[in-house]
Amino acid sequence: MGGAILEKLNEEGLQKVAFKERLTLLGLTLPYLIFVAALIIIPVGWLFYLSFIGRDGGFSFENYERMTKSRAYIRIFITTFKISILTTLICAIIGYPLAYFMSQLSRRWASICMIGVLIPFWTSLLVRTYAWLVLLQKKGLINNIALDIGLISEPIKFVHNTTGTLIGMVHIMLPFLILPLYANMRSIDKDCLKAASSLGATPTRAFWTVFFPLSLPGLTAGLLIVFVLCLGFYVTPAILGGGARNHGSDENFQ
Amino acid sequence: MGFLNKNVSETQIRLKDRLWLYIFSYIALFLLIVPSMVVIPMSFSASQYLEFPPKEWSLRWYENYFFSWKVENGFNDWMQATWTSVKVAVLTIIVAVPVGTMAAYGLVNGNSRISKMLFPIFISPMMVPSILVAIGLFYFFVQLKLVGSVLGLVLGHSLVAMPLVLIIVFSALKNYDMNQEKVARSLGATRFRAFREITLPQIKFSIVSSALIAFLTSFDEVIISLFVAGGDNSTITRSMFLALRDQIDPTIAAISTILIIISSGLLIIMQIIGTKENKS
């Protein structure tokens, strides 16, 4: 009898300690939570709220109506989406073979190639945008070389238009696609491919029926990250795109 | 050309079938690395205009960066901005690393259901487009009179740096055997002492690299700085952006070169730390 009571008391005590423990651990995440709540959820939520307030101060869809009626806003939205989709597609076309190539190399060579992906990743955005401005402008390196070897007869306009924006954005977004895709491709079991070819599949068929579907999760993740980042991108379009491409992400709320 | 018939994968692909992939990949890697490097020779050019390769060499743009004095306000704008950036980046480390580490510790050890719920919220600063975060912060800081202050910048930059700290320390703690702390505590150590004396020494390399990344993130951040900084507290990236939008000043090439050196330096330090941690 006494033993059972003691056991019960002990259990209650342990539960109390465990509860306190959990509370402490939750408490440790509290500063972070306050940070995010105060600096993301409240400000962005407030912008969202403001977007529904009309000029008279009441609730209305006035701002959205104005947005959908104004041609300028619609054009900005279409350009934003067009550029984002194009950038994502070009990143996929360049990034997929490159990630595949790296995933087929030995670990040592792959990590050397990885430096090529990581250096631009860690170089300041502004530096890279500036570099492209230097390369692409009317009297820039690329135009000069092309003129010298007689490829073109007069300079091509690369900057302050969509082409410049696209080149700069693809260069900046490519690492964001390659990193998740490469990690995914590395984890694909090579025995699956061996099995496919031992069953008589040609290399091409083995790639498309085995390797490609297995790499899709990484590809989707990468594409999603690139697309979302493109939609909210500001710096590169502002400098390389000039007035031709405006960003829609902020005008939404103003 | 026998090497072209060498097998390069498990599925009987010969090198010549795949030559296009090799060539394509090397070109892509070349295009990823080299364009940024073009600013290094540019920065030593003597000319006002951006000509490549430069006809004459000089250090005038570095001089301009380090010693230029604007007559109207009597101080060097570039140096002032650099100083602000360094100050903000260091303060960002001081805020983001402890807060991020504490949260990572709480998430790893705490109730797994709550942790799963909190994790996406915690990395949301990385997911929400930074222009939105910047505009939101701007409106918010206007009310609090934090626009143009160092504190506002530190808060904004910490917000962006914290998810990176969280992810790095979180994965370090995941690979770490928490039972070691339990042993220490069963021997009478408090939780804090167990963490400080047992866990911390074993994850210190991850914490150091997360601090370096926090520094770099803050130092390179443009958009939040653009909205939140102002007056005497402009950051280097904000000044660069404003200068770039208006005219192409070769001083920017000099600053870019310095920035490339800083970030490659930090990258190398992190690689060294990484290999050390793998060995120990």
Residue B273 within any structural domain of the chain: no
With beta carbons under 8 A apart, name residues in chain A contacting B28.
94, 97-98
Helix (H) or strand (E) holding A238: none
Let me know whether B74 and B188 are in one domain: yes
Let me know whether B43 and B172 are in one domain: no
Residue B274 within any structural domain of the chain: no
Let me know whether B58 and B85 are in one domain: no
Name the maximum alpha-carbon separation found in chain A: 102
Number of domains in chain B: 2
Let me know whether B31 and B138 are in one domain: no
So what's the ipTM on this one? 0.81
Tell me how far apart the alpha carbons of residues A127 and A201 are, in angstroms, rounded to a whole number.
47
Let me know whether B35 and B150 are in one domain: no
Tell me how far CA of residue A228 lies from CA of A79, A249, B5, B58, B126, in angstroms.
Answer: 15, 11, 43, 43, 11
Q: Is the pTM of this model over 0.90?
A: no
Tell me how far CA of residue A36 lies from CA of A33, A230, B60, B139, in angstroms.
Answer: 5, 23, 44, 16
The phi-psi region of residue B147 (left if phi > 0; otherwise alpha if psi is between -120 and 50; otherwise beta) is beta
Let me know whether B116 and B231 are in one domain: yes
Let me know whether B80 and B25 are in one domain: no
Let me know whether B110 and B233 are in one domain: yes
Residue B252 within any structural domain of the chain: no
Which residue's entry shows tokens 């360049």? A94
The residue in chain A having the minimum alpha-carbon distance to the alpha carbon of residue B7 is A203
With beta carbons under 8 A apart, name residues in chain B contacting A129.
244
Q: Which of A106, A122, A167, A252 would you mutate first to test chain B, the one with the most B CBs within 10 A?
A: A122
Q: Does B19 touch chain A (CB under 8 A)?
A: no
Between chains, do A22 and B29 touch, taking CB under 8 Å as contact?
A: no
What range defines the domain where residue B165 resides? 69-246
pLDDT digits (tens, 9 = 90+) for B144-168: 888 888 999 999 999 999 999 999 9
- State the architecture of A71-244 in CATH terms: Orthogonal Bundle (1.10)
- Tell me the shortest Cα–Cα distance from B190 to chain A, in angstroms: 12
Between chains, do A203 and B17 touch, taking CB under 8 Å as contact?
A: yes
Let me know whether B104 and B179 are in one domain: yes
Residue numbers of A between 171 and 200 with CB closer than 8 Å to B = 171, 174-175, 190, 193-194, 196-197
Domain of residue B128, CATH code: 1.10.3720.10
pLDDT tens-digit profile, chain B (280 residues): 455 666 666 566 667 778 888 899 999 999 888 888 888 888 888 877 766 677 788 888 888 888 876 644 445 678 888 889 999 999 999 999 999 999 999 999 887 788 888 998 998 888 888 888 898 899 889 888 888 889 999 999 999 999 999 999 998 898 888 889 889 988 988 888 999 999 999 888 889 989 999 999 999 888 899 888 877 788 888 888 888 776 667 888 888 898 888 888 888 888 777 776 665 5
Between chains, do B256 and A126 touch, taking CB under 8 Å as contact?
A: yes
Let me know whether B237 and B197 are in one domain: yes
Q: Which residues contact A185 (CB under 8 A, 6 or more apart)?
A: A99, A100, A102, A103, A215, A218
To 5 degrees, how large is the angle CA A125–CA A139–CA A82?
50
End-to-end CA distance of chain A: 73
pLDDT digits (tens, 9 = 90+) for A9-41: 888 888 888 888 888 888 899 999 999 998 888
pLDDT at B27: 92
Let me know whether B174 and B80 are in one domain: yes
pLDDT at B48: 74
Tell me how far apart the alpha carbons of residues B187 and A224 are, in angstroms, rounded to a whole number.
49
- Tell me the shortest Cα–Cα distance from B228 to chain A, in angstroms: 13
Q: Does B25 touch chain A (CB under 8 A)?
A: yes
Q: Which residues contact B260 (CB under 8 A, 6 or more apart)?
A: A123, A124, A127, B36, B37, B39, B40
Please give the interface size between A and B, counted as residue pairs whose CB atoms are below 8 Å apart. 235
DSSP annotation of B71 reads T
DSSP string, B100-142: HHHHHHHHHHS-HHHHHHHHHHHTHHHHS-HHHHHHHHHHHHH
Let me know whether B18 and B86 are in one domain: no
